[in-house]
Amino acid sequence: MKKYLTLWVLMAIPSQIQAQDSLLMAGDIAIIAFQADNNDQFVFVNLTTIYPGTKIQFSEKGWDGSLATPAFSSSSEAIHAWNSPSHPLLPGTFIRVDFNSSGSSPEVNLGTVQSTGNAGFAASGDQLIAFQGSPNNPRFLYALSSNPWLSSGSPSSNQSWLPTGLLNGRSAMDFSKEMDDQYFSIPITIGSKDSVLAIIGRPQNWFRTNTRVAQIPEWHFYIFRGYYSKPNGNLSELSTWGLELDGSGAAPTSFVDSGYTFYLVNRIGLQSLDSNWTLKRLCIGNGITLALNGFLLSMQDLAQEGLGKLLVTSNDQITITGQSGPLMLEGDTATLKKLVLTSGAMIGLSTALQIPGGPNPGMVSLDAFAVLTTNDKLILCSNAQGSASLQQHGKSSQLIGAVINKNF
């Protein structure tokens, strides 16, 4: 472990580190880079708005969960206090902290950093624990360890218990094998705060090496706000949704407010619409299938982070109004009466999709500048009574991939 202590730094900083903080909660930030080979470096991203006057402290000390009253381990390792700039930072802003070869003179792209000592991230493994409050009474925000979290025994300079109240894979993460240098490797990440935390918390989404990375990414995070479904009720009614993860809390005033994702969760199995539903962004949770049940579903985006699916029939219609994730449909081959992409909309097919023929045939309609990527999965059916049609309004619409014509 590198240990550089400068007496005047230790004397000058503690009064500033004890200052009152603006309140943040676990998961309001995430650490997205940690480099222990000189020069030491860490990066974090805010997943909620950070206002002027906010202070976040980052401890190299391990958290001792073996104690009856857990506490930071007593060591000479440093605590680095970041102070926000004089303007608000919108969700998705990343803050990079760089030290010189001696672990001193921290530089930051936004705000300021002051330290109780020199950074000494260990090449044999280390942790970085973000908190507010005081070291004696911390409120933990996020923690990262390049070694596995301890489950017994006392922490060393290189290994820590998971801090109290943090959830590994959401507000914390560790790695099964130590490496010196690592960073979150997805340069563009879109989703709600919870889904982005889950994506960051998957070790497979990180690049790791034992050689310092000279050029880390310029990340772009787009954080959506979310409403969550209650365990029961008609999905197209606003009262069925709330701001809290369990569906409780304030209900939305509109399904089409910009920036909100509606998370179909707290339910299992088949769910059905009983009226037409128009909304901005829909995310269907794992293990849930949403049946359109003969009604129109119109949405800007079917969120990519959802693992649930749509169940459609020859009586259903889907309208896409924005740049959506893939159309995830139940079954190996699905049948849909009508697929409409309004002006500028984009979507791709992940499942084979049949548009029926017959006396009242179905259709695919692309307005100007709309783009449909078929992935060779679009099937237009026909018989003696009528044929499904593909209508492109304006030369600027695009169909990417093959279309299969099938006669019955």
What would the pLDDT profile of 126-171 be if each residue is shown by its tens digit?
999 999 999 999 999 999 999 999 999 999 889 999 999 999 999 9
> What does the pLDDT average to over 383-403?
93
Q: State residue 99's pLDDT score.
A: 97
Phi first, then psi: give them for residue 11, nearest 5 degrees: -80, -30
Length of the chain, in residues: 408
pLDDT digits (tens, 9 = 90+) for 59-80: 999 999 999 999 999 888 999 9
For strand 389-392 and strand 317-320, is the pairing parallel, antiparallel, or unpaired? unpaired
Helices assigned H by DSSP within 250-402? none
Q: State residue 9's pLDDT score.
A: 33
pLDDT digits (tens, 9 = 90+) for 202-250: 999 999 999 999 999 999 998 888 899 999 999 999 999 998 888 998 9
Nearest to 93 by CA among 21, 34, 170, 32: 32
Domains of the chain: which residue ranges?
7-218, 268-407
The residue ranking higher by pLDDT, 13 or 329, is 329
Q: State residue 190's pLDDT score.
A: 79
Is pLDDT above 90 for 10?
A: no
Contact 32, 184 (CB under 8 A): yes
- At 55 the three-state DSSP class reads strand
Nearest to 61 by CA among 200, 163, 167, 169: 163
> What does the pLDDT average to over 332-353?
96
> What does the pLDDT average to over 173-183?
97
Tokens, residue 314: 């020859």
Split at pLDDT 50, 70, 90, the class of 8 is very low
Report the chain's mean pLDDT, rounded to a whole number.
Answer: 91
Q: State residue 259's pLDDT score.
A: 76
Query: What percent of the chain shows pLDDT beyond 70?
Result: 95
State the Rg of the chain over Cα. 26
Degrees, nearest 5: CA angle 33-156-170: 40
Least confident of 12-26, 70-84, 257-271, 370-384: 12-26
> What does the pLDDT average to over 95-107?
96
Least confident of 17-21, 103-107, 122-126, 297-301: 17-21
Q: State residue 21's pLDDT score.
A: 55
Region for residue 303 given its phi and psi (left: phi exceeds 0; alpha: psi -120 to 50; beta: otherwise): beta
Q: Which amino acid is at 383?
A: N
Contact 392, 367 (CB under 8 A): no
